[in-house]
């Protein structure tokens, strides 16, 4: 290791691609000796082979083994955009190694003028927050917010008459709360009679009867003087045991019993006086039978 030796490392200013501006050229220097040293030298800039700028370079005291910059005395302002070649030479008093003093030529491209320095913006977050003079709105923006957003209360908008009313018409499943039926006319009901399976399941009840039986009773007894349909098979004949009264559809007993009246009788008991057994289609459910009031002689 030499007692005194400084070597140039690289061009520091300007950068290899730099905007058109004013620069104070500088190179980095290392003290390779064992003593402190001051580096000095020169820097030259060429354009198309012609010298366009030259200046001296100086550094502050550099400790042994340390690295520092040697800066130009003058400032360089390139007059035009384009490519420039930069040469530099660095040495020190009593420098014992000459081979590391010359900087290899560096090509620098000067581009358009430097952009203006952006203005300093003071802190103004409160202006963009809720209630600020420039409050931000995320309506219409795509993407997700950083924090989960709590929906605003909006129950009324989903209720009847709201702008976003819910419709359960096509939803599957059962509602948690029983829903009252809307007022509706008979046109909303299917007039088809009960199915055979439904009638069979109903036949074992106390008031077992078929739709056909009810229809037959209505046709043979009439509305005002007919038997009560819901009671006919449940309790047998609704003719008074005394034989002089019968139960009308308005659930009032009426006398006298009209001739030719047809009703249902419990077939396990004797047929009352003045009545005969007849065959009517459809037949009632056993043991009930059809009986007819004989005309008065």
pLDDT over 50 (residue 172): yes
Task: Write down the pLDDT at residue 73.
Answer: 96
Asked whether residue 86 is assigned to any structural domain, the reply reads: yes
Task: Write down the pLDDT at residue 98.
Answer: 94
Asked whether residue 257 is assigned to any structural domain, the reply reads: yes
Task: Write down the pLDDT at residue 234.
Answer: 33
Asked whether residue 254 is assigned to any structural domain, the reply reads: yes
Among residues 113, 146, 169, the one where a domain terminates is 113
Confidence band of 201 (pLDDT split at 50, 70, 90): low
Task: Write down the pLDDT at residue 220.
Answer: 44
Phi, psi for 147 (deg, rounded to 5)? -105, 145
Cα separations (Å) of 161 from 139, 156, 157, 158, 165?
25, 8, 8, 8, 7
**Using one digit for the tens of pLDDT, what is the confidence trace for 9-47?**
999 999 999 999 999 999 999 999 999 999 999 999 999
Closest residue by Cα to residue 227 from 235, 236, 238: 238
**Using one digit for the tens of pLDDT, what is the confidence trace for 123-171?**
999 999 989 999 998 888 898 888 888 888 999 999 989 999 988 888 8
Asked whether residue 235 is assigned to any structural domain, the reply reads: yes
Hunting for tokens 């420098």 — which residue is that? 95
Confidence band of 285 (pLDDT split at 50, 70, 90): confident
Asked whether residue 147 is assigned to any structural domain, the reply reads: no
Task: Write down the pLDDT at residue 141.
Answer: 87
Among residues 113, 130, 163, the one where a domain terminates is 113
* 74 or 270, which is more confident: 74
Confidence band of 194 (pLDDT split at 50, 70, 90): low
Please provide the size of the chain in residues: 297
pLDDT over 60 (residue 52): yes
Residue 68: CATH number of its domain: 2.60.40.10
Number of domains in the chain: 2
Asked whether residue 200 is assigned to any structural domain, the reply reads: no
**Using one digit for the tens of pLDDT, what is the confidence trace for 223-253?**
333 343 333 333 334 555 555 666 654 556 6
Task: Write down the pLDDT at residue 108.
Answer: 97
Task: Write down the pLDDT at residue 211.
Answer: 47
Task: Write down the pLDDT at residue 232.
Answer: 39
Confidence band of 203 (pLDDT split at 50, 70, 90): low
Q: Can you tell me the distance from the alpha carbon of 262 to that of 280, in angstroms, rounded to the nearest whole number?
A: 9
Among residues 77, 94, 113, the one where a domain terminates is 113
pLDDT over 70 (residue 176): yes
pTM above 0.85, yes or no: no
Task: Write down the pLDDT at residue 235.
Answer: 37
Alpha helices in the chain (DSSP H): 125-128, 155-158, 196-202, 211-221
Q: Can you tell me the distance from the alpha carbon of 149 to that of 278, in angstroms, rounded to the nearest whole number?
A: 81
**Residue 46 domain boundaries:** 6-113
Asked whether residue 36 is assigned to any structural domain, the reply reads: yes
Asked whether residue 169 is assigned to any structural domain, the reply reads: no
C-beta separation of 256 from 243 below 8 A = no
**Using one digit for the tens of pLDDT, what is the confidence trace for 74-132?**
999 999 999 999 999 999 999 999 999 999 999 999 998 767 788 998 999 999 998 99
């Amino acid at each position: 290791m030499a007692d005194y030796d400084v070597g140039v490392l690289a061009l520091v200013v300007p950068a290899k691609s730099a905007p058109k501006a004013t620069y104070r050229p500088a190179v980095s220097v290392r003290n390779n000796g064992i003593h402190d040293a001051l580096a000095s030298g020169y820097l030259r800039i060429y354009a198309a082979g012609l010298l366009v700028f030259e200046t001296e370079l100086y550094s502050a005291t550099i400790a042994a083994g340390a690295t520092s910059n040697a800066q130009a005395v003058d400032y360089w302002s390139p007059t035009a955009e384009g490519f420039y070649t930069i040469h530099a030479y660095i040495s020190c008093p009593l420098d014992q190694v000459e081979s590391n003093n010359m900087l290899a030529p560096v090509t620098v491209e000067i581009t358009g003028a430097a952009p203006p320095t952006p203005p300093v913006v003071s802190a103004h977050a409160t202006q963009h927050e809720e209630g600020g003079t420039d409050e931000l709105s995320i309506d219409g923006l795509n993407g997700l917010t950083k924090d989960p957003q709590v929906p605003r209360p909006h129950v009324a908008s989903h209720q009847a008459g709201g702008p976003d009313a819910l419709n359960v018409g096509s939803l599957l499943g059962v509602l948690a709360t029983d829903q009252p039926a809307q007022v509706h006319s008979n046109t909303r009901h299917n007039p088809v009679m009960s199915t055979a399976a439904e009638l069979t399941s109903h036949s074992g009840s106390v008031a077992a009867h078929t739709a056909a039986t009810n229809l037959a009773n209505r046709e043979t007894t009439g509305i005002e003087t007919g038997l009560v349909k819901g009671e006919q098979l449940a309790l047998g004949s609704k003719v008074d045991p005394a034989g002089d009264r019968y139960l009308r559809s308005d659930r009032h007993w009426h006398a006298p019993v009209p001739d030719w009246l047809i009703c249902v009788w419990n077939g396990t008991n004797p047929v009352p006086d003045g009545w005969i057994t007849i065959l009517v289609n459809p037949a009632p459910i056993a043991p009930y039978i059809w009986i007819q009031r004989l005309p008065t002689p």
